[in-house]
Structure 1
Amino acid sequence: MFFLYAVGVAALALVAADRLLPAPLARASLAFERKRSGLTLRQASLPYLDSGAGQEVLLLVHGFAGDKDNFTRIARLLAPHYRVIIPDLPGFGDARRDPSAKHDIATQVENLRALMAELGVQRFHVGGNSMGGFIAAEYAARYPEQVASLWLLAPAGTEAAYDNPTFHTYLAGGGMPLLVPNPRDFGALMASCMAKPPFFPYSLKHVLARRAVADYGLHCAIMRELVDSPMLRGAIETPALIVWGTEDRILSPKGAAATKALMPNARLVMMEGIGHLPMLEATRRTALNFMDFQLTLDDQSGRKRGCA
């Protein structure tokens, strides 16, 4: 009985601390998740998480309003097979904020190219979500000799992807869920991005909401840069896995076929009931899709890899 009482008291204390001390609790929860996934925070030209092991390298690129920790949970399933590198892009996460800098797709490609050169990585796989998927695809288009394969999770970069109410409203001069002017609007961002959101403690949501509000002006400017960036053009020959949730409310699922049409060596997976962030909403299924895709490439090239 005393044990149950002690557990109850500890649980209540943790809930209270989660509300009263959100910043340190958020840092602690992120540190715990990173440790469970075997990720270490490092700093080069960009801050990045690094699993530090694996013969092949997998570079993962977050989307707009996201950061490197969007991939922390799925990295737990991928790190046994790859050295996983997950940076924060300038303007997001723990990366630098410079309103005078450019943040368009081409510039972010060059930021990543500089990082990988610093790390001495010459050829690697690239995965990206949303804006990060657009950046990943553009990287392959510009530097195909560096990119072994692409993993595109609801990527931007085609006109079809923007053909939905979210972008119609934004382009007509209205707001959009990814731009958060007030902390109370952060819930709308979460609801719009995920059809099946995982649990997030109050402390983490509180800290992320405040960061989003602080970044509102900068992110409005970055969004304009992204919308003005040239769409993907021409054939991208790199083998690619395109993944899209059927319930995506940020980018239209119609973008899936449009993206695949640009990539003759692409496989398309539509995930029923999933929104804009498959790696958070269906972590294991998303990882297994990627590993299955890589096993197919291994069979074609004669490489050997263990199964997830």
Structure 2
Amino acid sequence: MKIIKVLIAVVVLAVIGSAATVMIAPAGTAAFLVDLKRGLGDLEKKEITLSSGLKYVYLESDNKDADTLVLLHGFGADKDNFTESAPYLKDFHLIVPDHIGFGESSKPEDADYSPLAQARRLHELFTLLDLKRRIHIGGSSMGGHIAMTYASIYPAEVKSLWLLDPGGVWSAPESEMARIIRETGVNPLTAKTEEEFRDVFDLVMSEPPFVPGFVKDQMARKRIANFDLEQKIFAQLKADSVEARVTGLATPTLLVWGKEDRVLHVGAVDVLEKLMPNVTTIKMDGIGHLPQLEAPAETAQDLKDFIAGLEQ
């Protein structure tokens, strides 16, 4: 009985200590949790500088003898959008960069943020990282837009594409997000307050993973600080259609779309299937705009099965 009381006391003290830590140093606690999540995927943070002076910050796994899988995050997100999936993708050598303009990478005010410019920067990054073998590229939303662009201008360097609700297919039916922008002129993917960021969080996922409120608030502050730049980047994205670029693109492609996506209409699947001759499609029930966060194990396994099928 005495041992049980001691154990209870230890647990109570641990809970009190954790709560105190969160109250006193929420930013540090949030950073610790991010590092913990990265560690589960064997990801280490690194950085490298391009010839232009722009800095890329990226995550990399140590499995360098395996096939390389590059993972590209979406608009307003960062490299940690793939830490939920990383533990299920340890069969690959993972490279997960913050795009220029996002996360911890450089954020020049007047840069070209078009998908073509981002793809060319990535090509220099991959060259500096000495990725001599052909690579698999996965992209979520804007990251999918950039991934398709990369494959279109460097087709010999890409073994396969993994597209998760990708952007750039602007002839698709109007989404809820597009309707909001048309009717109000406000982009619901951007945020000026912590409350608005929580609305963004709800918009992009139907089945979000649990994220403590203080972690969301730390995420919100980064988005708020980047608000003005994100307006410029979004305008450049909307001005760029990927459709002509990928017409006839034969790269083996796994196209995944959440049926509950409110950001980009699932009808874009029909457009891409007509344009790209080598597409395998999975539509996910009950999933929104970010399958890799909402169903990380399932989406990762689908990718592994797809790539295994290419090698048979």
* Normalised TM-score (structure 2): 0.92
CA shift at 1:146, angstroms?
Answer: 0.4
1:29 and 2:33 matched: yes
| Aligned residue type for 1:222 | I
CA shift at 1:162, angstroms?
Answer: 6.4
Q: Distance in 1 between matches of 2:142 and 2:256?
A: 14
Write out per-residue CA displacement over residues 107-143 of structure 1, whole angstroms, 9 at most, x where no aligned residue: 1101111100101113200000000001001111111
Q: Distance in 2 between matches of 1:142 and 1:286?
A: 27
Structure 2 equivalent of residue 131 of structure 1: 142
| Aligned residue type for 2:294 | E
Aligned ranges for residues 86-97 of structure 1 at < 5 Å?
86-97=96-107
Write out per-residue CA displacement over residues 39-85 of structure 1, whole angstroms, 9 at most, x where no aligned residue: 11111131110002142100000000110010012111112x11000
CA shift at 1:8, angstroms?
Answer: 2.1
Structure 2 equivalent of residue 303 of structure 1: none
Structure 2 equivalent of residue 304 of structure 1: none
Structure 2 equivalent of residue 254 of structure 1: 267
Q: Tell me the SS of whatever aligns to 1:84.
A: strand
Q: How has the CA–CA distance of structure 1 residues 287 and 211 changed in structure 2, closer, same or farther, with 3 Å as cutoff?
A: same
Write out per-residue CA displacement over residues 207-253 of structure 1, whole angstroms, 9 at most, x where no aligned residue: 11011111111101110011011332121100000000011111111
CA shift at 1:169, angstroms?
Answer: 2.5
Q: Tell me the SS of whatever aligns to 2:58.
A: strand
Q: Distance in 2 between matches of 1:160 and 1:130?
A: 15
* Normalised TM-score (structure 1): 0.93
Q: Contact 1:128 / 1:151 at 8 angstroms: preserved in 2?
A: yes
The unaligned stretches of length 5 or more in structure 1 are 300-308
Percent of residue pairs bearing the same amino acid type: 35
Q: Distance in 2 between matches of 1:177 and 1:21?
A: 30
Structure 1 equivalent of residue 53 of structure 2: none
Q: Distance in 1 between matches of 2:237 and 2:182?
A: 12
1:13 and 2:23 matched: no
Q: Distance in 2 between matches of 1:232 and 1:130?
A: 15
Select the residue among 47, 61, 72 that pairs with 1:51.
61
1:144 and 2:148 matched: no
The unaligned stretches of length 5 or more in structure 2 are 50-55
Q: Distance in 1 between matches of 2:30 and 2:82?
A: 16
Q: In the comparison of the two structures, how many residue pairs are matched? A: 298
1:68 and 2:95 matched: no
